[in-house]
Amino acid sequence: MRIWLEKGKQKELLLRERELRKIGWMDLANVLDVNFGRLKSWVYEENLMPEEVFNKLKLSSEYKKFIVQKLIDGWGRIKGGKLSPGNLKNIKIPKRDVKLAEFWGILLGDGNVQRTEGYKRGTYNIKIVGHAILDRDYLTTFVKLLGENLFHVSARVYDSKFNQGMNVVFDGRRIVDFFEKEEFKSGDKIRNQVTIPSWIKENPKFLAACLRGLYDTDGCFYKLTNQNSYQIGFTNYNLTLLRDVRASLLSLGIGVSKISRDRDITITKKSEIAKFYKVVGFHNSKHLNKIKVWNAKFSPV
């Protein structure tokens, strides 16, 4: 069931809830067990809040008096006896190639596929999120253009109002349909354990491109404290994906650590960092510039 509150009250409730708990929006999303994008759509009152989420709020009892109606899930789609077509803008269906594999990796790292039915309108999009300063060049000059060339859909680019985040969004029901058909489930990636598909794993060039997208978004390259050693790190809380990334690196001949804390893997040896740079590499300038300097000074190859 969906809770329909009086206009403005859903936003007011969530703002007050965050202030009451003295936490940020991302932490509130974790408390409610939802992704950040969905929470934001409720704050902007683009979509109705599910009853089970409403009941988790400490202030829910205070706001029951503002409930206009409880609606069954998907009511907007079945109203009038037919499905709502959503945003059916035409897209190009991309072929399975290196570019799509890299975009898949980017989406696995810092992206999300969203399909939400609302009482005003449905939300269908894919979104990639990065740092408004550190990732700006990568998002605007690479990710945006890559997605637009793949799907022939113009992207929306905007800075987040809640933090230092920056968003690249591709709207349209058909683009969401495409990814779901390719088994990239919409919603929470960790809960759905979305990972690298077999068509990418079976092709070394596709696999290297996918890993590049993943490391550009969820990876890091850094100098170890008080040492003249460097590491390439990768952190992700999707254990299925983490295991697949480690296995993929090994299949490409790149030595990598065992998984630690159920979220981290690292590449430390100079020879393995050099292999990674040669086989996978980076497109994100915040990583690429660092590893280029390292390669010039320390590469054993």
Cα 125 to Cα 162: distance, rounded to the nearest angstrom: 20
Question: Which CATH homologous superfamily contains domain 2-72?
Answer: lambda repressor-like DNA-binding domains (1.10.260.40)
Tell me which long-range contacts 263-269 makes (C-beta under 8 A, separation of at least 24): 263/235, 263/236, 263/237, 264/233, 264/234, 264/235, 265/233, 265/234, 266/231, 266/232, 266/233, 266/234, 267/231, 267/232, 267/233, 268/229, 268/230, 268/231
| pLDDT reported for residue 83 | 37
Per-range mean pLDDT, top range of 17-26, 65-74, 109-118 = 17-26
| pLDDT reported for residue 68 | 79
The dotted CATH code for 198-298 is 3.10.28.10
Q: Taking a C-beta distance cutoff of 8 angstroms, is the pair 180, 115 a contact? A: yes
Beta strands in 96-224 (DSSP E): 111-116, 123-131, 156-159, 165-171, 219-223
Which sign, positive or negative, has the C-alpha torsion 50, 51, 56, 57? positive
Rg (CA), the chain: 21
Per-residue pLDDT of 151-171, as tens digits, reads 998 899 999 877 788 999 999
Residues spanned by CATH 1.10.260.40 within the chain? 2-72
Q: Taking a C-beta distance cutoff of 8 angstroms, is the pair 259, 242 a contact? A: yes
Per-residue pLDDT of 222-246, as tens digits, reads 998 888 889 999 999 999 999 999 9
Per-range mean pLDDT, top range of 37-46, 69-78, 157-166, 211-220 = 211-220
Domain 98-188: which CATH class? alpha beta
Share of the chain above pLDDT 90, in %: 64
Residue 76 has pLDDT above 70, yes or no: no
Question: pTM score > 0.75 for this model?
Answer: no
- Residue 166 pairs in a beta bridge with 130, 159
Residues spanned by CATH 3.10.28.10 within the chain? 98-188, 198-298
For residue 282, give the nearest of 189, 229, 209, 228 by alpha carbon: 209
- Residue 219 pairs in a beta bridge with 234
Contacts of residue 219, defined as CB under 8 A and 6 or more positions apart, other chains included, come to: 109, 232, 233, 234, 282, 287
